[in-house]
Amino acid sequence: MKKLDMVKKIMSDFSYIADFVVVYVEEAHPTDGWSLPGNYDISQHGNLHDRLAAAHVLADKDIPCPLVADAMDNRAATFYASVPDRYCIIQDGVVVLLGGLGPFGYRPEEVRDWLTKLTM
C-alpha cells in the first residue's frame, strides 16, 4: 500500500477517460501467516465475511473508485495472477496492459503513461 497515494492520484487525474475498480484479493501478509512489521492487523480470510471486513480497511483509505472483493475461490486473483497486487487495463474487453506483479514489479506510473498516450 506504499504506492496508494500515487494510484489514487492517477485515478483522479484520469477519471474522465477511464473507469477504475479495485479488486481486493487474498491477504498477502496476514498476521497469522507471513506477516511483515507495520502491516495492518488482518488475519487470513476464513470466509467471505472476513474478506469483506478486510476490504473495508482499504475502503477507509478513500479509494476514488468502486472496491470489490474477490470470491473465496480466488478466481480473480488466479485469472490475473494478482497476489499480492497487480494492475491491468482492459479496453473493449481485451487486456491491453498487464502490469508487473507487486511489490517489485508494481509500477503504477505505467498506467499513467498508458493513459496519457491515450489522451494524445
Residue 24 has, within 13 A of its CA and on its CB side, a CA count of 22
Q: Could you tell me how many helices (H) and strands (E) the chain has, helices first? A: 4, 4
Say how many residues make up the chain: 120
In the predicted model, what is the mean pLDDT of the chain? 88
CA-nearest of 40, 37, 29, 32 to 103 is: 29
pLDDT of the residue at 35: 63
Helix (H) or strand (E) holding 39: none
Q: Are 30 and 43 in contact (CB under 8 A)?
A: yes
pLDDT digits (tens, 9 = 90+) for 38-89: 677 777 888 999 999 989 988 898 999 999 999 999 999 999 988 888 999 9
CA-nearest of 83, 76, 118, 78 to 97 is: 118
